[in-house]
Structures are given as C-alpha cells and as structure tokens.
Amino acid sequence: MSNPPSQIKLHRKSQTLELHFAKPYTLSAEFLRVHSPSAEVRGHGKGKEVLQLNKQDVHITNIEPQGNYAIRLIFNDGHDSGIYSWSYLHELCQQQNSKWQTYQQQVAEHKNQI
C-alpha cells in the first residue's frame, strides 16, 4: 500500500486533480474517469473491461475520503463507484502517458470498427 499524497487539490476551472506524492502530478477528470477502478469500467475480470467513450467534458463534482486508504471521486455524469486507492492513484500518476496513449489507441480502434 502506498502512502497517501501529501496534498490533494481539485482545480475546478481546468478540471484537473493535483496530487503530491514525491512530486506534484496533475491528472485530468477525463483521464481519471476513463481509468476508474470501478467494476463498471474494469468489468468483472481480465478482458472484460468496458471502454469509456465521450468523457472529455466530464467534471469531478466531489471528492470523498474512504478511510485512510483511498478517495472516491464523484463525476457529473453520475459515475461514483470508483474507489481510488493511494497505490492506484500513484500508479496512474507514474504511468499517465502510457495509459493515456493506450486509451487513445483503444478509442481509435473502436471508431474504426464502427
């Protein structure tokens, strides 16, 4: 389990979440929404993930602490079931570029199949 970030700040105007682990990171609401750790997004097992589309205008409306280990992000599209543990948030921060590129490729492949 990772330590909690020393600071969490929601920037409502830019719709980004600033997290300070060893250094500051900034994650967009869209990135956090499409990488939600919820069953709705991850599915119920490997290979059962559900690609999240059209989330570029999503906003974080609230952040709720979950004990000493995580936060729950509430989004304006009604999604509120993702519990973001400190270790998962740290992973998202460290792997943001590669995870975003993978997501963009999945979206492009989906559009080509339509």
Query: What is the rounded average pLDDT of the residues 98-112?
Result: 96
pLDDT score, position 44: 81
Query: What is the rounded average pLDDT of the residues 82-95?
Result: 97
In a domain, 1, yes or no: no
In a domain, 15, yes or no: yes
pLDDT score, position 14: 97
Question: 102, 60, 103, 65: which is closest to 84 by C-alpha?
Answer: 65
* CATH number, domain containing residue 28: 3.30.2020.30
Q: Give the residue numbers spanning the domain of 61.
A: 7-113
In a domain, 69, yes or no: yes
Is the pLDDT confidence value at 110 over 90?
Answer: yes
In a domain, 95, yes or no: yes
Give pTM, 2 decimals: 0.95
The DSSP annotation for 20-35 comes to ESSSEEEEEHHHHHHT
In terms of DSSP H, where are the helices of the chain? Answer: 29-34, 39-42, 86-94, 96-113
In a domain, 22, yes or no: yes
pLDDT score, position 73: 98
Total structural domains within the chain: 1
Alpha-carbon distance of 31 to 114, in angstroms, equals 23
SS3 at position 89: helix
In a domain, 16, yes or no: yes
Is the pLDDT confidence value at 105 over 70?
Answer: yes
Q: 72 near 63, Cβ under 8 Å? A: yes
In a domain, 2, yes or no: no
